[in-house]
Amino acid sequence: MPTTASNTTATSSATATRTSSATRSTRTTADPESTATRLAKALRTGPFSLALRLAVRQSGLSLDRLQSHLHSRGTPASKTALSYWQHGHTRPERPESLLAVSTLEEILGLDPEALTSLLGPRRPRGRWLHHRSGTLPPDRAWARPDGLARALAHLDARPEFLHHLSRVASHLTISVDADRRLHSITHHHLLRAERDTDRYLVAFRSDHPTGPLQLPESRGCRPGRQRADDTTGFRVLELLLDRPLRAGELTVLDYTVLPGRLPDAEHTVRIGQAVRDLSVQVQFAPGNLPARVVRGYRRSVGEPDTVAELWVGASRTAQLTAVDPAPGIYRVRWDWS
């Protein structure tokens, strides 16, 4: 909260008055710079409430003026709502509230999505009330986030676009062929739109890129554009939804990716935002079982894995499963000797 100096204490000392005035002048001069620095950091790291509060402070606008500006632009929000958003008591989740936040970004002179990108998924309700919270930003999820940013830029997108659809449930089946190469990855996702959108962006990375990804089949979507950053091995795939989604709507997507028979001996899944459940099944070809399969988890790329062995069952399948998984990096790795 902004603080103001008390004006209730009077003094008859001219020296004290001059000193007090000088102090107030110094504070007035220093505060905008301090606020700007804190705002820049909050816009990078959050939380939303702090970023909004600092942006409002820097603008010099009262809640009355903000409310008036929002109303005149057709995206009204009450003073109570604005106050609650600033102090973290509530956060905007309904479509009309998200539109008001987008308008606030313009009124406050911020970049588009500077505030909305900090909101993350909707707060869990009902049976999901105790779901783990948190996010995994790109600079903690990937060793070379600059490559991801460049690949996304070719699609006129930024890293936060990856979260316009959040995963409620995510199930993957990895197929490893008789030549010990990663043959296909089948995805089954239950997704929720965090804002109005008509596409889903998916990021892939391999140390052995072999060219464009192939999608032989899909349901709920169809392949769109595909862009790569060859230096870092990133490839971003655009999936066009069967129908546009409004914020809060759910959809199911099924699609199979053929990555080009990669020699990779692992598959990694990054959970950037809260997910109800996650499963990764790796199925091996008959007569070609690995000597060992392990699962790993780490909170970010800069931390070591927590590792545990996985059993390969009669169906030649190893499974990583998690309910309410914490945001982080999940990995299944197999060794042939």
Distance CA 239, CA 224 (A): 5
Instruction: List the structure tokens of 329.
Output: 């990096």
Quote the tokens at residue 337. Answer: 């000797």
Angle, in degrees to the nearest 10, between helices 63-72 and 95-107: 110
Give start and end residues of each alpha helix (H) in the chain: 14-45, 48-59, 63-72, 79-87, 95-107, 138-141, 145-153
pLDDT tier for residue 216 given thresholds of 50, 70 and 90: very high
Q: At what angle do helices 48-59 and 95-107 cross, to 10 degrees?
A: 40
What pTM does this model have?
0.60
Token pair recorded at residue 295: 């699962």
Per the document, the length of the chain is 337
pLDDT at 34: 85
Class of domain 138-335: mainly beta
What are the backbone angles phi and psi of residue 151, rounded to the nearest 5°? Answer: -65, -40
pLDDT tens, 125-164?
443 333 344 577 777 888 888 888 899 998 888 877 777 8
* pLDDT band, residue 25 (cuts 50/70/90): very low
pLDDT band at 21 (very low <50, low <70, confident <90, very high): very low
Contact call for residues 283 and 313 (beta carbons, < 8 A): no
Domain ranges of the chain: 14-119, 138-335
- Encode pLDDT of 298-323 as tens digits: 988 888 889 999 999 999 999 999 99
Structure token digits, residue 170: 């995510």
Tracing tokens 């809640």 back to the chain, one arrives at 63
Query: Out of 33-42, 228-237, 240-249, which region has the weakest mean confidence (pLDDT)?
Result: 33-42
Alpha-carbon gap, residue 280 to 10, rounded angstroms? 70
